[in-house]
Amino acid sequence: MEPGELFPGMRSMQRGNWEKQVWQDFLSCLQQPASSEAVPALLVSQLDALLCHAGPAELERMDTLRRSLSRWKRYHIKVHLADEDLMMPLTVRPRDTVMDLRALLVREGITSWKKTFYYNSRQLEEHETLKEANIQNGSVLLLVSNNR
């Protein structure tokens, strides 16, 4: 990067053109096949820089863009299967529920029927999202059998 550049290749762009370029980059990402790397990290950092120098109307537009980018966010978590003494890595979204986690485990060949998920010593409810449970990237969930 050269002095005066905020991001590589963005030196000559004015702020209005820069915002337009960010939107175009975002739209091109939406048209690509879905993958965990569909939205580049540089695009998010560009949004952060735009928000630092934006007026009220620009803030509202950029906030809308940020919310729409959040649907691409992925967390890499692990589920500790206490009965098998196994750690199962999973890639999930913040809006996934415990029921979605069970479906992911079934796809991996692991049954979670009659088992309970715990996070930070707290039992997770079936319809609770990962975001509501404050589960973040790198978190470890415990899956324990209900022996009654």
pLDDT digits (tens, 9 = 90+) for 35-92: 444 455 555 566 566 556 666 777 777 777 777 766 678 899 999 998 888 999 999 9
How far does Cα 4 stand from its chain's mean position? 32
130 CB-contact burial (10 Å; exposed 0-12 / middle 13-18 / buried 19+): buried
Left if phi > 0, otherwise alpha if psi is -120 to 50, otherwise beta: which for 38? Answer: alpha
The pLDDT score that the predictor gives to residue 146 is: 87
Q: How confident is the model at residue 136 (pLDDT cuts 50, 70, 90)?
A: very high
The pLDDT score that the predictor gives to residue 13 is: 44
How far does Cα 70 stand from its chain's mean position? 6
Considering the entire predicted model, what is its pTM? 0.55
